[in-house]
Amino acid sequence: MLERHEGALGLAGVAAQADALTIAWRNGDSAHIPFLWLRHNCRCDDCVIRQTSEKRFRVSTVERDIRPSAATIDDEGTVHETVTIRWPDGHRSMFPSGDLAELLHPPRRQLRYWDARFEPCRFGFDEFLASDQIAAAMIEEFLTTGACILTDGPTEPNSVERLVPRLGPMRETLFERIHNVVVDPAGYNIAHTLEDVPPHNDMVSYTWPPSVQALHMLVNDCTGGESVFVDGFAVAQRLRRELPCMFETLCAVQVPFSLFSAKDVTYAVNPMIELDSAGHLKLLRFSNQTMLAMPLSEPRLDDFYRAYYELDARVNDAHVQASSRLEAGEILLTAAHRVLHGRKPIKGAGRRHLQDAYFEHDNVRNHLAALVHAVPAQIDLALPGP
Q: Which is nearer to Fe ion, 66 or 291 (CB)?
A: 291
- Rounded to a whole number of angstroms, the CA Rg of the chain reads 25
Strand 70-74's sheet: what is its strand order? 70-74, 82-86, 92-96
Q: Which of 202, 231, 360, 380 binds Fe ion (CB under 5 A)?
A: 202
362/126 Cα distance (integer angstroms): 23
Distances (CA, A) of 313 to 90, 112, 305, 307: 63, 22, 12, 10
The whole-angstrom separation of Cα 312 and Cα 310 is 5
Among the residue ranges 1-9, 147-155, 196-204, 320-328, the one whose residues contact Fe ion (CB under 5 A): 196-204
Write down the least CB distance from residue 341 to Fe ion, Å: 6
Rule CB under 5 A: say whether 44 interacts with Zn ion: yes
Nearby residues of 297 by Cβ (< 8 Å), 6 or more positions away = none
CA distance 241 to 107: 25
Rounded distance between C-alpha atoms, residue 334 and residue 146, angstroms:
6
In the bound complex, what is the minimum distance in angstroms from residue 42's beta carbon to Zn ion?
Answer: 3
Any contact of residue 47 with Zn ion (CB under 5 A)? yes
Our CB check for Zn ion shows the closer of 14 and 42 to be 42
Q: Which of Fe ion, Zn ion, none interacts with 44 (beta carbon under 5 to 8 A by kind)?
A: Zn ion
183 binds, among Fe ion, Zn ion, none (CB under 5 to 8 A by kind): none
CB of 161 to Fe ion, least distance (A): 19
Judged by beta carbon, residue 46 or residue 75, the one nearer Zn ion is 46
**From Fe ion, Zn ion, none, interface partner of 360 (C-beta below 5 to 8 A by class):** none
Q: How far is the CB of 237 from Zn ion (least distance, A)?
A: 42
Least Cβ distance, residue 61 to Zn ion (angstroms):
11
Q: Which does 331 bind (CB under 5 to 8 A by kind): Fe ion, Zn ion, none?
A: none
Could you tell me the smallest distance in angstroms from the CB atom of residue 48 to Zn ion?
A: 8
Nearer to Fe ion among residue 202 and residue 380 (C-beta): 202
Percent helix, percent strand, percent coil in the chain, to nearest 5:
25, 30, 40
Whichever of 295 and 345 has its CB closer to Fe ion, that residue is: 345
Q: Helix or strand or coil: residue 363?
A: helix
Q: Considering all CA atoms of the chain, what is the largest pairwise distance in Å, rounded to the nearest integer?
A: 80
- 8-17: burial string, b at 16+ Cβ within 10 Å, e else: bbebeebeee
Residue 59 interacting with Zn ion (CB under 5 A): no
The phi, psi pair for 28, rounded to 5°, reads: 100, -15
For Zn ion, which residue of 21, 33, 42, 101 counts as binding (CB under 5 A)? 42
Cα 188 off chain centre by: 28
Task: Report what 202 binds from Fe ion, Zn ion, none; CB cut-off 5-8 Å by kind.
Answer: Fe ion
Using CB under 5 A, list all residues that contact Zn ion.
Answer: 42, 44, 46-47
Using CB under 5 A, list all residues that contact Fe ion.
Answer: 202
